[in-house]
Structure 1
Amino acid sequence: MTATGADHDSAGATSRGWWWWERRRSAVLDIGLGLASAFECALEGVKFAGDAGVPVPAGVLFGLVAGAMLTTRRRWPVAVVLVSIAVTPANMGFLLGIVGLYTLAASEVPRRITAALAGMCLAGTFIVTFVRMNQSVDDGAFSGGRSLVLLFSVVMSLGLTAPPLLLGLYIGARRRLMESLRERADSLERELSLLADHAEERAEWARTEERTRIAREMHDVVAHRVSLMVVHAAALQAVARKDPEKAVKNAVLVGDMGRQALTELREMLGVLRSGEAVRADASALAPVPLAAVGAAAAAAAAAAEEGPCLADIEALVGQSREAGMVVELAVHGAVRAYDALVEQTAYRVVQEALTNVHKHAAGAKVMVRLAHRDEEVAMQVENGPADVASPDAGLPSGGNGLVGMRERVLALGGVFVSGVTDAGGWRVSAVLPDRAG
């Protein structure tokens, strides 16, 4: 255990009354090992006192203090190993050395320090064993001969050093792996939580965008048709008694406008219903969602293909002429087909611009220009000042027309500009990229 980690564990455990131990069972284990080591060293201290010529109580006390150091193995593993190396010449502290070396290898102490202390343990055990075995041969206590002294010393030193060192390295690596996996799992959980929050934000954004798109479509469909219907109804009211034939013609136009508005609304609601059916199937987890999604996608694509296009702009201009507006249409460049969404957006821009003229500039002359360029299509609707002699149709305005046109054009990567002209009229200009190209 590193000094920093040990201090942290010590601070946390001290608040619980267990010094540097994190759990009670750790304290019980270390205290038990410390008592066993102290008892072993005390017994070996008796023999050490006799060999060293010191009083037996001093040897026993020395053994008790040295063996009790094992209780601090989690806090100071380096100190425990150093003590075990120091008492090796006294032929004591075998449990102290084995457990201390295991704890050192399993801790976060730098590997170079662990290797150095393990080498010292190996060398100390080998030297002490070799010296004592030679003394035993000289005393006749060992009859194996000097040829086995070296082999026995090597086996003894490796047996007391290698197993605890290798086991400690394995346990330490396993512990670090588990901590890494735990940290990775926590990190993954945090990432999943962030992804869930992000997905919720994107879902809310998608719902907002869908509501905006539906509102824009409803505005484009209803505003233009109803505006023309109001203009024709006003004309019908004005000529009903003076010119019955013109009144009938205006009544027919009002009916046509109403039917066209209902048709477009019905198509739009049909697409919305198909999308709701898909969401219902997906929430029920039925085995059909893929087919339902495919059907909804096909329905949406078909709705886009069947929607208004550039070829319908001439008819759109004709409807405004029939309502009494003076409109000129000029087409520049070679006419060609574009992506369905591009053509539909171009149509809606012209449609909404003409609707605004009906609302805000009654009797004004209008110029509609359509230009086919190499990689884009441009449209411009410009009207002069309102004719003060023309009666105001009294159409309400919510101020969403220009906003909707800008959103449509910018969504396709185009450019949208609108503003007052020098003559006192209004100009709407838009350029759309040829996405099909």
Structure 2
Amino acid sequence: MSRFPRWAPVVLPALLALAEAFLVNGIAPGLPLALSLLAAVALPARRRFPVTVFLLTLPGIYIGYIWFAPLIALYTVAARRPDRRLLTGCGLLLAAAHFLPYPLSHLSLSPHRQVALDLVDAVADAITPIAVGLLARTRRELAARLAELTRSREREDRLLADRVLATERARLAREMHDVVAHQVSLISLQAGAVLVSTKDTRARAGARTIRELSVRTLDELRHMVGILRAAGADTEELTPQPELDDLPRLLELSALNVTFENAMSPAGRHSEAVERAAFRTVQEALTNVRKHAPGAAVRVRLSEPDGGLRVEVRNGPPDAAVPAPGLPGGGHGLVGLRERAQSLGGTLRAEPTEDGGFVVRADFPAP
């Protein structure tokens, strides 16, 4: 909410110019007072007709010796019409109206020092409102540009966040397809086996119904997953998803200085969804190391605190001798990992370390 009424910038300058007109020229009717009042009355229209109003104020400063109306009018011209030739002409007119006496026959060029001082004063009075007006216009344009950039950045952030979430949901949909399709296929195969082996009519009818429903469910599932993948811009094939047993192969192909510590129990097993999430966490962390810490030493550790699963990827500071690849990155992969961990009841933390490195730690609850 504005601190001043909207009419204040229009009315207050006119009132100030009216007061100046009476203070300078008195209340006795005459040409100086009339021209000064004309300049004051014309000020409210300065935003719509800046040049015309400025020209109407010139007789006031030349004959009536007023200041506020011409200076305010010239400021408005600079703020509204930033044309160099126009501003130069208006500035020269104001300087001439200030420097030349009325009537013009009273002009005297001696003493020279006083004439020079008067000329400098007239030029300074003409330049000041122009400079302030241009500054105000520039400030207004920068504020508008900054507001537009802020809105554009907010829109881009929202679109990027939506795209990241859609992509991650498409990946989750693909993994759901692998799990559910596998189970439904087994149900269909078992129903087919019953259909072939049994001679009971009712059992055969039930097995046939189960088999038909399984096939229909699988078709609908594939159709829905295809829609989700298209919405998430995910063009990867529906391939089997990796698990923790695939970590050594991932670390071998990472081309990084990686130390792998596996503190898990040999008999400890976790759900496929948890192991896939753990694998993706390590994969994304290694990708970020390549982007932001080239040449850094990496330690990958798996542990089972309280029966759950903890995945920790810790890297040291980057090696200055290793050139950065210059790959784009904004931390959006971590957004999907955090959402995946939360969907499984776990947490994910990613933060810098005291030695200049970075650590990514995901904790998943016990089965």
TM-score, normalised relative to structure 2: 0.49
TM-score, normalised relative to structure 1: 0.42
Q: Which has the higher helix share?
A: 1
Larger radius of gyration: 1
Higher RCO, Cα 8 Å, sep 6+ = 2
